[in-house]
Chain A
Amino acid sequence: MSTRREQILPEVPSLTSLYGQAVARSARLMVRRPGPIVARLPEISYRVDDVRVDRAQLAAYQHLLGEAGTDTLPAGYVHVLGFPVAVAVMAREDFPLPLMGMVHVANQVQQRHPVHADDVLTVRAWAQNLRAHRSGTQVDLVTEVGQADGLDVLWRGVSSYLAKGKPLKGLALVESADGARPARADGRDADAPLPAVTASWRLGASTGRRYADVSGDRNPIHLSGLSAKLFGFKRAIAHGMYTASRALATVGPARPDAFVWDVEFLKPVLLPGQVAINLTPAEGATSYLGWDPRSQAVHFAGSVRPLP
């Protein structure tokens, strides 16, 4: 959308302070009902220049996720770098959906070129594609990361969020006309039997806190059972991107230099907990699936495939 205005932020904002603002805003909205919310996204994109990699944080990220300790940034780490800029868009007063109530439902990353730890990066983020969903309103946050001295986008992420509840007025319901469900992100039919277990993750109660330490994402729903209860979860839940990034690390170097990494989050992983994992390679791509070994409920599904 060419009408989008670019605003330069002096630095990558702090997620903790953005969450703080968002919580305060939600509290304000509870006390004082605003007028009707306009179903329109802010026509703005945020840009931050001179973004540099904190090498100690990168090492801690690589160790936690099981990525190789090289100078090439894991695609999930680039997400961590750019995520606060996208959150800043969602934390704006004129953003039509409540930041704290949104659920991350899907994520697609295009890793077009490897990003090196010495690269000085520019991050851009904006919101697009506000749409009605049968259980609420959905929106895509786009983040692009490139080298400061080049126009080429090295990495592009699209994070889809769902604000549950009544859809905002005036939005088209984006669903296939015949009502058929779209294929799951791992390419399997949702009714297909679960595949064989190729890995098993035992996620301790501290999983959310440990990922918060390396990602800076201290959303209270991930930190402890108590803080998660305040936001309506029975227990703390694992960061969706932790599970997807760990799946990506398990796919490992089989991924080519340029690839598409997809994930669909279906059911939160409660902590502590165990997740059954399947990896299936097929013609240069690898699909992955994570589910609860007891209830058999699928937590997430995705794939890593060469960039077309």
Chain B
Amino acid sequence: MPSNSSPRRAAVIGSNRIPFGKAGGAYANATNLDMLGAALSGLVARFQLQGERMGDVAGGAVLKHSRDFNMTREAVLGSALSPQTPAFDVQRACGTSLETVTAIANKIALGQIDSGIAAGVDSTSDAPIVVSDRLRRTLIKLSRAKTLPDRLKLVASIRPGDLAPVAPDVAEPRTGLSMGEHQALTTLKWKITREAQDEIALASHKNLAQAYDDGLFDDLITPYRGLVRDESLRSDTSAEKLAKLKPVFGRGLGEGVATMTAGNSTPLSDGAATVLLGTDEWAAERGLPVLAHMVDAEAAAVDFVRGEEGLLMGGAYAVPRLLHRNKLVLADFDFIEIHEAFASTVLTTTAAWADEKFMVSKVGLPPLGKLNPAALNVAGSSLAAGHPFGATGARIVGTLASLLSRAKQSRPDGGPVRGLISVCAAGGQAVAMILEAA
């Protein structure tokens, strides 16, 4: 059943996140649970939810320690929400908290719950380090060994190499290539220039700094551990400074073709974000505003393993399908939020949307037309804010809902004000979403 004919749409009532930190920075001592708890406590305080039994809370992290299997429920128990609030964990790589928003919004739309919180978090500073598979298997056998000789034999079988800790990395398990190396291939294929990428990066920093100065985040962020703004934000960066950086990805692809630098690639980050959702009635009963409604969402995945498509090109499939289903085109959107995994992800995705041959042959839908650059990431995105994997979707939903509400207020009779979100994710996936101002 298409969601635009469903009986009710979930309302985005508000959001709260902590400023995003740089890996090893302000949140070096914070765990995923700490940050999720801090963002959640800020949301509870902002919307007076103390003692409230929410319908459900969905959260998740990408780099997650196995002891945190019930992370979101633990965060709820550590918050002032009613301890009778249930919670569950979700993981869809960088699309995690766009997926938690979808899950909570769907439950609301179906009438199963009338309020909920969607969240996401990630820490690269406190990443779970695991032991090698050989050591792990030996330790499991050791715990089951009954006799001393058996135990000694097992201990003796441990080799020095087994003791090396294994840290998670961002390489795709099936290709061994990092995300950056994958995107370097896509960048080259779509002939994206260094200048165009640096332009996206510069706009991200300028727009985010401007949004802070305009007070957009006053109601969206709770300072944490001394941080009041995103740690990666460089309001003083310039095209010249960005142009000086040396490429870090795609250096093996040929002389002079590497264009992706630390400046136009997202930094590793720590942070958490939350979104408060509910029915219009639930919000009205508590005197809370409704900023926007969740209209529809779509997930997509591509075959990057056999090189049929670029790893981070899922948005080129998810968005056209989502728009087609809702009978919308790019021109119908006032705001377009494309997660900046890399500046070039934004450029390859939008290039694909406009490319007739690609759209017809690969997606099977007509091209979406050219994107209005003035609608793109107007309050900055992941290049400037940072990208704690699990938190990015919720950051974008929170920011976009506020932007939509502000735009609607400035032209109350001007028809629908819509926003589009596209977030690419590991495993060749992507999640897209439409929000509409209330």
Chain A interface (Cβ < 8 Å from any Cβ of B): 55-56, 59-60, 62-63, 67-72, 117-118, 252-254
Contact = CB atoms under 8 A, between A and B. Distances in A.
A118 B34 contact: no
A69 B33 contact: yes
Contact of B31 (A69, A71, A253, A254): A69
A68 B29 contact: no
B225 A55 contact: yes
B420 to A, nearest CB: 34
B391 to A, nearest CB: 15
B226 interface: yes
A254 B38 contact: no
B34 A59 contact: yes
A71 B224 contact: yes
Question: What 5 pairs across the A-B complex have the smallest Cβ distances?
Answer: A69-B34, A68-B78, A59-B29, A68-B37, A253-B80
Contacts, number: 47
B41 A70 contact: yes
A55 B38 contact: no
B37 A69 contact: yes
Contacts of B34: 59, 62-63, 68-70
A252 B31 contact: no
B80 A71 contact: no
Contacts of B77: 252-253
A117 B35 CA distance: 15
Q: Interface majority SS on B: helix, strand, loop or mixed?
A: loop
B226 A118 contact: yes
Contact of A60 (B29, B35, B37, B83): B29
Contacts of B204: none
B348 interface: no
B224 to A, nearest CB: 6
B30 interface: yes
Given A68-B37, A68-B41, A69-B37, A55 B29 contact: yes
A131 to B, nearest CB: 39
B29 A56 contact: yes
A181 B223 CA distance: 49
B259 interface: no
Contacts of B79: 68, 253
A178 B221 CA distance: 59
A59 B224 CA distance: 12
Interface in B5-37: 29-31, 33-35, 37
A69 B35 CA distance: 7
Contacts of A67: 78
A254 B29 contact: no
A254 B79 CA distance: 9
A228 to B, nearest CB: 30
B226 A70 contact: no
A115 B18 CA distance: 19
Contact of A71 (B29, B78, B81, B225): B225
A283 B418 CA distance: 48
Contacts of B81: 253
Nearest to A116: B223
Contacts of B29: 55-56, 59-60
Nearest to A254: B83
Contacts of B37: 68-70
A63 B31 contact: yes
A55 B41 contact: no
Contacts of A117: 225-226
A236 to B, nearest CB: 27
Contacts of A71: 38, 223-225
A69 B30 contact: yes
A209 to B, nearest CB: 19
B53 to A, nearest CB: 14
Q: Which of A56, A62, A118 has the most CB of B within 10 A?
A: A62
Nearest to B38: A70
A142 B29 CA distance: 32
A175 B38 CA distance: 46
B272 to A, nearest CB: 10
Nearest to B37: A68
A90 B226 CA distance: 34
A258 B342 CA distance: 47
Nearest to A118: B226
A254 B37 CA distance: 15
Nearest to B79: A253
Contacts of A59: 29-30, 34
Contacts of B83: 254
Contact of B38 (A63, A69, A252): A69
29 contacts: A55-B225, A56-B29, A59-B30, A59-B34, A60-B29, A62-B34, A63-B31, A63-B34, A67-B78, A68-B78, A69-B31, A69-B33, A69-B34, A69-B38, A70-B37, A70-B38, A70-B41, A71-B38, A71-B224, A71-B225, A118-B223, A118-B226, A252-B77, A252-B78, A253-B77, A253-B78, A253-B80, A253-B81, A254-B83
Contacts of B226: 55, 117-118
A69 B78 CA distance: 9
Q: Which of A63, A71, A72, A253 has the most CB of B within 10 A?
A: A253
A60 B226 CA distance: 16
Contacts of B225: 55, 71, 117
A175 to B, nearest CB: 40
Contacts of B224: 70-71
Nearest to B41: A70
A253 B77 CA distance: 8
A262 to B, nearest CB: 22
A107 to B, nearest CB: 23
Contacts of A69: 30-31, 33-35, 37-38
Contacts of B223: 71, 118
Q: Which of B30, B31, B38, B225 has the most CB of A within 10 A?
A: B225
Contacts of B31: 63, 69
A68 B76 CA distance: 10
A43 B207 CA distance: 60
Nearest to A62: B34
A63 B38 CA distance: 14
